[in-house]
């Protein structure tokens, strides 16, 4: 399995930010790990021109139709992108997306030939109540379609309370969660579940990347804020390469 570090630019980025990607492509074009930047739909074509692997941040479950303002997976693929994120907690929370919708978006991504990163994660209240594993197992059961394979699918564990806050679970907590997620994936998908990449996401930065990437069953990271600037993202890529 090749490890993966994926950036998520969210609703950030205009033409003025494209040189960040050129810098990354220059420094990491031949990386020994997969490097992907998921960006806003407005930039995807030009992001793809840099030669980096590019992804959408979300897609509609239908391939086309009367859905004003939405973007289909086929449209994302048409830009030259090869990945798409589904189920990010900001989509689940801000747009009331449920697991069934996220599963249908994952299927739409596969149908368009995209590799799909499916996000799961517990809220702070659920974490404090000790419900993390129950929540994550339920999200996996319902938002990962049966047809998922290691080649088409990556799972990103992102505790909601760690996203953009500077907080992270302890190394022991990440380890325990990822071990439990691996067991759950293997129980359902067998060998495909063993090979499916499990990313950690939530306040990953250069200063904590080494510790997180050293953990068993952490096959890379989904990175928000620290993916916006090449000088912040580059050391995270280097840390993942060193752990691979
Ligand atoms: C994210 O939004 O997927 C994320 C992990 O954000 P950050 O790295 O900024 O916490």
Domains with residue ranges and CATH for the chain: 4-243 (3.20.20.70)
| 88 Cα–ligand 1 center, Å | 10
Q: What is the pLDDT of residue 149?
A: 98
**Residues 6+ positions from 23 with CB-CB distance below 8 Å:** 230, 234
- Chain-centroid distance, C-alpha 9: 11
**Residues 6+ positions from 12 with CB-CB distance below 8 Å:** 40, 228
| 66 Cα–ligand 1 center, Å | 31
Kindly tell me the burial class for residue 46, based on how many C-beta atoms sit within 10 Å of its own C-beta (0-12, 13-18, 19 or more). middle
Reference 223, options 237, 210, 211; nearest CA is 237
| 58 touches ligand 1 (CB under 6 Å) | no
Q: What is the pLDDT of residue 206?
A: 98
| 33 touches ligand 1 (CB under 6 Å) | no
Q: Check if 122 is active-site.
A: no
Q: How far apart are CA 158 and CA 221, in angstroms?
A: 9
| Minimal-distance CA residue to ligand 1 atom 7 | 224
**Residues 6+ positions from 234 with CB-CB distance below 8 Å:** 23, 24, 27, 28
| 172 Cα–ligand 1 center, Å | 20
**Residues 6+ positions from 17 with CB-CB distance below 8 Å:** 9, 43, 228
Positions of the chain with pLDDT lower than 50, given as ranges: none
Q: What is the pLDDT of residue 63?
A: 96
Nearest atom, ligand 1, residue 88 CA? 3
Q: Check if 88 is active-site.
A: yes
Q: How far apart are CA 52 and CA 48, in angstroms?
A: 6
Q: What is the pLDDT of residue 244?
A: 83
Kindly tell me the burial class for residue 15, based on how many C-beta atoms sit within 10 Å of its own C-beta (0-12, 13-18, 19 or more). exposed
């Amino acid at each position: 399995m090749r490890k993966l570090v994926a950036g998520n630019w969210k609703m950030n980025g205009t033409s003025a930010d494209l040189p960040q990607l050129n810098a990354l492509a220059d420094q990491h074009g031949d990386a020994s790990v997969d490097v992907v930047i998921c960006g806003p739909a407005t930039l995807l074509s030009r992001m793809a021109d840099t030669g980096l692997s590019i992804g959408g941040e979300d897609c509609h479950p239908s391939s086309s139709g009367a859905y004003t303002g939405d973007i289909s997976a086929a449209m994302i693929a048409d830009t030259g992108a090869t990945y798409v994120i589904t189920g990010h907690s900001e989509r689940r929370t801000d747009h009331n997306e449920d697991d069934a919708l996220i599963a249908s978006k994952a299927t739409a991504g596969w149908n368009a030939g995209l590799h799909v990163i499916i996000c799961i994660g517990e809220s702070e209240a659920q974490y404090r109540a000790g419900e993390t594993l129950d929540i994550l197992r339920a999200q996996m059961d319902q938002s990962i379609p049966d047809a998922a394979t290691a080649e088409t699918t990556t799972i990103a564990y992102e505790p909601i309370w760690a996203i953009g806050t500077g907080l992270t679970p302890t190394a022991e907590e990440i380890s325990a969660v990822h071990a439990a997620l691996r067991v759950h994936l293997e129980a359902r998908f067998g060998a495909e579940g063993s090979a499916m990449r499990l990313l950690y996401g939530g306040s990953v930065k250069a200063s904590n990347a080494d510790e997180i990437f050293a953990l068993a069953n952490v096959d890379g990271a989904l990175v928000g804020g620290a993916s916006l600037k090449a000088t912040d993202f580059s050391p995270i890529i280097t840390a993942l390469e060193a752990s691979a």
